[in-house]
Amino acid sequence: MKGIAILGSTGSVGVTTLDVVSRFPERFRVVAMAAGKNLEVLVEQVRRFRPELVSVATAELARDLKTRLGGEKIDILYGTDGAVAVATHCDAQFVMSAIVGAAGLRPTLAAAKAGKDVGFANKETLVIAGEVMTRAVHEAGVNLLPVDSEHNAIFQCLEGRQRGTVKRIILTASGGPFLKLPLDRFVTVTVAEALKHPTWRMGAKITIDSASLMNKGLEVIEARWLFDLPAEQISVVIHPQSVVHSMVEMIDGSVIAEMAIPDMAIPVAYALAYPERLPMTHLKPLSLAECGPLTFEKPDFNRFPCLRLAFDALNAAGTMPCALNAANEVMVAAFLAGEAQFLDIARNIETVMLRHSNQPARTLEDLIETDGWARAQARELLGLHTHAA
């Protein structure tokens, strides 16, 4: 019986993880869960999965949760320390890292340092602190199992291959809802339009990132750390059907792809059961004959400047990816709140990057400082000095 801790249990990946866990009760037991503010969903999850420990974002929410749970015998914590306690729970062998954004950094790092295998959905952690995180993973000798469908695909394609035989990896991108939108229409893009992802159902932040292609940019940086490859060996191709989840090109010209229906249950199940595989018999099988033509095209860096900015940050290295991520988190929150236009996202991130004096990113402290600085810069650009993202 594998003990599972879930960071971000109430989110899209968290709910999918619980669904997979519930289908294999003889293999998995949920021992701890961390969420943010969604007590409605969390209370139901606690009653159903009976973890020993649960954590929420604030002390006030923790008090409210305690009242709602009445006499349930469970430890309730809050804040970053609470999420760290969930990530390091003594009965957890596997931690699903699915908190969105920089809030996932400390608990994910703590999980690796505590010797837990990590199912890795929270890409922002590797964008911010790739060097610090991968060092912790190597020192602790744990598995970092990619849950992002693209990285999970590459992980599977690379299994059993020798490093030197890989020429490059090719991340596929659906292109999001604005793939064919004329450039002059981007100025009037609404939140509702940006939230309509053509192939995946996901949380709001990653859906906006997918519309701007920043999600692919973050994934390029994530891939650099997960697979220890330089930017020149990482490329992106647009594939609107989201059937080929990514590919690896070998030095002899062979290209190995992983394909499946676009359902996060597949990479989640892969990470949970690694190195075994779970029979996911409830899922619709992939029928290539039914899904129609599979198409591929080059990404347009002019229409999607966020992708270019992410490659720039990766090439700059140091604290630049952290600055990019922090500015993006502030801008996406502002866009979702109706306080910024879609085009402001890339524009303000670029300004923050131009202002940033890049430093080596060796310690968590270097990164926390940059994160705070870049958030303040992005807020200043928005004219929202006191507004927290």
Ligand X SMILES: NC(=O)c1ccc[n+]([C@@H]2O[C@H](COP(=O)([O-])OP(=O)(O)OC[C@H]3O[C@@H](n4cnc5c(N)ncnc54)[C@H](OP(=O)(O)O)[C@@H]3O)[C@@H](O)[C@H]2O)c1
User: Given the rule CB under 6 A, which residues bind ligand X?
Assistant: 8-14, 34-38, 57, 83, 98-100, 103, 121-124, 148, 200, 202-206, 264
Which single residue brings its beta carbon nearest to ligand X? 11
Identity of the residue, 11 or 305, whose beta carbon is nearer to ligand X in the bound complex: 11
Minimal distance in Å, beta carbon 205 to ligand X?
Answer: 6
End-to-end CA distance of the chain: 39
Identity of the residue, 214 or 257, whose beta carbon is nearer to ligand X in the bound complex: 214
Minimal distance in Å, beta carbon 282 to ligand X?
Answer: 18
Identity of the residue, 123 or 381, whose beta carbon is nearer to ligand X in the bound complex: 123
Rg of the chain taking only CA atoms, in angstroms: 20
Residue the block writes with tokens 């991130």:
349
Identity of the residue, 100 or 381, whose beta carbon is nearer to ligand X in the bound complex: 100
Minimal distance in Å, beta carbon 14 to ligand X?
Answer: 5
Minimal distance in Å, beta carbon 32 to ligand X?
Answer: 12
Minimal distance in Å, beta carbon 146 to ligand X?
Answer: 9
- DSSP result, 287-338: -TTTS-----B---TTT-HHHHHHHHHHHH-TTHHHHHHHHHHHHHHHHHTT
Structure tokens at 166: 């890989």
Minimal distance in Å, beta carbon 124 to ligand X?
Answer: 5
Helix H or strand E encompassing 79:
helix 79-87
CB–CB of 260/266 below 8 Å? Answer: yes
Minimal distance in Å, beta carbon 253 to ligand X?
Answer: 30
CA dihedral of residues 126, 127, 130, 134 (deg, nearest 10)? 10
Q: Which of 157, 113, 159, 154 is nearest to 137 (CA)?
A: 113
Structure tokens at 274: 């690694």
Strand-by-strand arrangement of the 244-250 sheet = 234-238, 166-173, 244-250, 255-259
Bridge pairing between strands 2-7 and 28-34: parallel
Minimal distance in Å, beta carbon 267 to ligand X?
Answer: 8
Identity of the residue, 8 or 321, whose beta carbon is nearer to ligand X in the bound complex: 8
Number of H helices, E strands in the chain: 15, 11
Side-chain-side CA neighbours of 233 within 13 Å: the count stands at: 20
Identity of the residue, 219 or 366, whose beta carbon is nearer to ligand X in the bound complex: 219
Identity of the residue, 80 or 351, whose beta carbon is nearer to ligand X in the bound complex: 80
Contacts of 275 (CB under 8 A, 6+ apart): none
Identity of the residue, 129 or 381, whose beta carbon is nearer to ligand X in the bound complex: 129
Phi and psi angles of residue 387, each rounded to the nearest 5 degrees, phi first: -85, 125
